[in-house]
Structure 1
Amino acid sequence: MAEVETQEIEAVDVPENFAEQISRDVMVIFQKQMDPEIAAAESSAYIWKNTGTPEKVSYFVDATELWQDSRSNVDKFAALSWNGLVTQSVNNQDYDTFLRIMISTILKGFYGLEKPDVDYKDKRFSGYTVIIGNTFIRMVELKPANDANASDIYSLLVHIEMDLEAESQAEEEETGTSTIPTDMQELYDEVIEYLAERGMFKPDPMSGGEENPNAHIEALCERLRSTRRFVIQEVINERAIEKRKKLEMELENQLASAEEIVLVAPQFTEGMAFFVQEKRYNFKYFSVEKIRLTLQLLGSITGAVYFLLGFMGVWGIHWIDGLVVCLVMLVFVRFAASRKQLQFFYPTDISKELEECSTAFLNVMRNMSQEQLEQFLVRQIKLERNQKYLSMVPEFMKYLYAIMPDRKSMMISVDELSELVENSEIEVAKQLRGQL
């Protein structure tokens, strides 16, 4: 309720002819003060005091339009007031804020089609385009050096409109709707087009070397074109830098921290030890398994031979005895040469421990940059506790990559990892040569 009451009070405080009142008061200030600097300071202070809010700044734009629609000599006050705001903004940040609010309001009205279009030379321009263009032209007509101030205002227009377009595109990607029409020409482009039309001059071929009376407009138009190119490139560079900083920040957040790398180093050492044991386990397991199968096979062959001897009656062996012995041998070797009976000869399976250590290290390794991983490997190669399994470091790294579940989530590419493995082999060779 308080907000509604405030808005109602503000609405009551603004008279219907507020724009006309502003135009008269500013004219009086410039007419009374003989010193242009003092007049610019007083007019800027008056404009900021009376229209320095987003709700009231549009009245100053309307006052500018009133000056331009009046008799020819009155439009200079539009140029003087705009020029004064720029010059005074150097010493007072409030006036720079006002200019930004004014440009934002103009853009809102431009895209909201709040003012009727104006026809000029068979072309149609927005009312806001005509206001800005005519003000710039009058500023230069009063003093050619004012083209710098016009350029400053125009640069604000380009900056703010590009930011508005970026916000609109972001909202369109998020919600599917755009805050500004996508089929409309940018205001800063339309201003250039309007000035180009105003500066166009077709000399009479019969009059000879007739000078262009609109040369100052052409010069202004060219100056603003340069400003547009510069500002657009500046905005593009700023956005590229911001995007790069954002990506770098995201990368830093994704990268493994120094604490994580230090804490995971013991898992790397333990994992490498388990990896070596696992390789030895495979060899020993297959060796014991060969012996076990050989024993089973020999027992089965012995039983079968005894059965055949009994079947043929050799050495007085009855075939029933041979059959019994054969069955007994088959049962015996199945029991005596089973894995359970020979379990003491089998190596201990440490695949679970290897998996735990490897997983712990992989969770950090996938977030390491190439530089981090390279420094980590060099340090591990030089540590005393890893000298026992030094030659297995490159092979262990290949094993880790082979068992990594989601390789695409790694911070480094496959080529970079291959390069790291090759470099680790070189470092291992250097370390081994140093031990000789």
Structure 2
Amino acid sequence: MSYRCEQLPEEKVFKDPVHRYIHVRYQVIWDLIGTKEFQRLRRIKQLGTSYLTFHGAEHSRFNHSLGVYELVRRITENFTGREAWSEDQRLLALTASLLHDLGHGPFSHSFEKVFDLDHEAFTKAIILGDTQVNAVLRKVSDTFPEEVAAVINKTHDDQLVVSLISSQIDADRMDYLLRDAYFTGVSYGQFDLERLLRVMRPKKEQVVVKQTGMHAVEDYILSRYQMHWQVYFHPVSRSAEVILSRIFHRVKELYQAGYHFKQTPDHFLYLFKNEVSLTDYIRLDETIVMYYFQQWMEETDEVLSDLCDRFVNRRLFKFVSHHTDFEAEDWQALRDAFQAVGLDPTYYLVEDSTSDLPYDFYRPGEMNDRVPIYLLTPDDELIELSQLSTIVDAITGKTRSDHKLFYPRDLIEALPESKEKKQICSILKMEERTGENII
């Protein structure tokens, strides 16, 4: 079918610190940006708790969504006139790229884990529900909301369009690497974007890269690897995330126990009852969460008050690294000692593990949904990237993991001398780390 595709009388332009300009020519894109559901993304940070580590990381999912849209616009401009590509595909790709993060909640993944939510499910619900976004999409065609939702859900028949925003080399990853590097002030996320855009080509099932652009792809993959370990998995950001998740757990526990709040968590009640309506979910953003944190600092429950004060005023937990072979006896002894000195280990001794797989390819017979990156040879053949790149081959299929224990060093140091305190200090090797200054 052919979509109703109205052009703006005059192109609209956003100034952007990463891509310089973001160009809008379609009326539907302009109208979507103006909806309340999309404007809400201004109040959701792109990097969650990372602003407590990198003070410049205050950018939002609104910024990022516009950036992904702009990259898809530039990529598909190069596709125009090529076989297996149409103007309808372009509009679908542009719209899905703009809306792909619509369902993120405050502080994204921490919030999702505690309340067992799925931001992709809420993205789909916003697109298909009784929303301003849905009303705008239906002006294109009656089925357009379903088409856009299917692309974001990766179930659309046109896997070429899906690959533009969800693959191992997509516009989503390219924008967040460059944008997050810019706002955190690091150089790890930089790669040759211009070269990469020039060598991307449409095939029936996915976007591929000309063989001559292999080194640009290597650069991109290594940038992603470095950003994960230097920024996304930074232990200080993870400490803040641990405290954030413990706050939500504590509030939920207190509510279920019948605790009388000075500031009742009205905006969270439907979450505690597992009755999440789309309207209530859209009302939630980080300004509301931070308001409650400020109020809960005055609660009589010492754990909730302390955790909120730590997050708001950046009194974060310290950490020690450990491995999966961490002695079970030590772990239990730590929990018992924390309990004995009045520190609930559920909230003050938290294990956190994280891992990343920089690149992988499909192996028949194995559980693997990763579509590999293909290089297009001068003979029009497709070769999987790691077969030609020794750099990528070296990291293909290799998962790197990191395990840490987070704890309140200040509270432990303030404890009176006791055998339990000595035991805690010994296991955590606090005597050896007194000179550590965690940013």
TM-score range, shorter chain: under 0.3
Greater Rg by CA: 1
Ranked by relative contact order (alpha carbons within 8 Å, sequence separation 6 or more), the top structure is 2
TM superposition score normalised by structure 2: 0.23
